[in-house]
Amino acid sequence: MDKYSFLEITALIGIFLVLFLALFLLTVKTKHKLANWLLAFFLFTNAVDACKFLMRDFPVNFINLEAFRWSINYLVPASFYLYVLSVCFSKFRLKPKHLLHTIPFVAFNLYMMSGIYFEDRATKVSFINTMNQTPIMHFFYFLFEFLFQIYFIASFLVIRKSKTVYLENYTNPNISILNALYKITILYYVLHFLVLIRWLVSLIFGWGELRQWIVTLDGFAFLFCTCWYLFVALNNPEFFRGVNSQLKPIVDLIPKQKSSPIIDDEKNKQILALKELMIKNEPYLNSSLTIQDLAEQLNMPVKDLSALINLYMNKHFFDFINEYRIEKAKEILKNPLQKELTILEILYQVGFNSKSSFSTSFKKHTGTTPTDFRKSLN
């Protein structure tokens, strides 16, 4: 088997797996269809682009299809950005304004019409042989790189904002969705630099063996990252939950507030009332408790409660609620009458909904795991 056959077989396997994953996302039954469909489209566009790994020579009999394949690249970063929005915000929906993201794709195809799509083969070949030296093609190369940077930076900012809003307004400590999404965004960003290296190697050394191995590494890395991300997603039931897009970080709601605001008598009364409610009514036992729910119980505007906890008490709502949950769990673990309860039963009883998130929060607040804490009491 020569090196080209190896590369082609590797590419074929990778493309098949990516398309299979895309098909699975399109057909699996879930209430989060939009996120699945956008991720499937992102995978499909990458699979189409990866078809170049199967080519030993330029496909002179399918020039129009090859030109259209080039244009697909202009949809890749936009599709990933829209996917990030659909995951981070539960109310995200595609709207007519999102068609603006297809403008570069349409513009490139209009350019291809002028020299490829409606011309004879000789004209097409002549156009292809000279287009890399034309200013307009240089512009499209620059446009792709510019769009890639803009979309992925925007994705980072959306994930960061979503995580901030989540910690300030929700109590379920399962934020693996945002952590995994952040990691995969970084990985795809790093993979893009392999593409830049490939271009650089092609420019300096030509289309030799070194470039072929970089292409192989690029394909393997993309496949590995995608499979890892989907594995994480499928093992987290709440992976596509998202946060309310209408919620804003507290720093945006009260931008002029000092980092360490002075606690006056009124704020002290509000803090005492909040703590009294937490002890008396134990609202934290509700695993789906949000800051809106707690604000209703206090008869306080959500904005004021968020400021009270995040600014005056210097805690995320996320940590504030989990401190009470952990203290409740410690009481149960210390109670000899409840020693028959399993750790799983206890975590559900105090408001958590997964063993990993309970253990993480318990160790964060106590320095030890629930099991070790129980053993230390004996």
Digit-coded pLDDT (tens) for 365-378: 888 888 888 888 77
243 domain-assigned:
no
Asked whether residue 16 falls in the same domain as residue 66, the answer is yes
In the chain, the percentage of residues whose pLDDT exceeds 70 is 79
241 domain-assigned:
no
Write down how long the chain is. Answer: 378
Give the domain range for residue 166. Answer: 3-234
Answer with the residue of higher pLDDT: 237 or 172.
172
> Model confidence at 13, in pLDDT bands (50, 70, 90)?
confident
Asked whether residue 172 falls in the same domain as residue 261, the answer is no
When mean pLDDT is compared over 52-61, 100-109, 117-126, 234-243, the highest value belongs to 100-109
- Here the tokens at position 198 are 């490939």
Instruction: List, for residues 212-266, the tens digit of each pLDDT value.
Output: 666 667 666 766 776 776 666 666 544 444 444 455 555 555 554 445 556 677 8
DSSP string of 20-39, one letter each residue: HHHHHHHHS--S-HHHHHHH
Tally of domains in the chain? 3
Asked whether residue 253 falls in the same domain as residue 228, the answer is no
> Residue 330: phi, psi to the nearest 5?
-65, -40
240 domain-assigned:
no
Q: In this predicted structure, what is the pLDDT of residue 112? A: 93
Answer with the residue of higher pLDDT: 70 or 246.
70
Question: How big, in percent rounded to 5, are the helix, strand and coil portions of the chain?
Answer: 75, 0, 20
Q: In this predicted structure, what is the pLDDT of residue 256? A: 47
Q: In this predicted structure, what is the pLDDT of residue 79? A: 93
Asked whether residue 189 falls in the same domain as residue 309, the answer is no
Asked whether residue 176 falls in the same domain as residue 306, the answer is no
Asked whether residue 227 falls in the same domain as residue 114, the answer is yes
Q: Which of 271, 265, 368, 355 is nearest to 320 (CA)?
A: 271
Asked whether residue 47 falls in the same domain as residue 195, the answer is yes
Q: In this predicted structure, what is the pLDDT of residue 113? A: 92
Q: In this predicted structure, what is the pLDDT of residue 6? A: 67
Give the global pTM.
0.70
Asked whether residue 275 falls in the same domain as residue 337, the answer is no
Instruction: List, for residues 75-94, the tens digit of each pLDDT value.
Output: 999 999 999 998 888 788 99
Q: Say which amino acid occupies 255.
A: P
> Residue 243: phi, psi to the nearest 5?
-115, 165
Asked whether residue 93 falls in the same domain as residue 222, the answer is yes
pLDDT at residue 154 above 90? yes
Asked whether residue 76 falls in the same domain as residue 159, the answer is yes
CATH number of the domain bearing residue 354: 1.10.10
Query: Looking at 171-175, 202-206, 295-299, which range is the least confident one?
Result: 171-175
CATH number of the domain bearing residue 145: 1.20.1070
DSSP 93: -
202 domain-assigned:
yes
Q: Which of 195, 180, 203 is nearest to 77 (CA)?
A: 195
Asked whether residue 199 falls in the same domain as residue 226, the answer is yes
Measured CA to CA in angstroms, residue 88 lies from 156, 181, 184, 354 at distances of 11, 9, 14, 20
132 domain-assigned:
yes
Q: What is the mean pLDDT of residues 130-141?
A: 88
354 domain-assigned:
yes
218 domain-assigned:
yes
Asked whether residue 127 falls in the same domain as residue 37, the answer is yes
| Cross-strand pairs, 205 | none
355/34 Cα distance (integer angstroms): 29
- Here the tokens at position 347 are 């975590």
22 domain-assigned:
yes
Answer with the residue of higher pLDDT: 353 or 366.
366
61/58 Cα distance (integer angstroms): 9
Q: In this predicted structure, what is the pLDDT of residue 68? A: 93
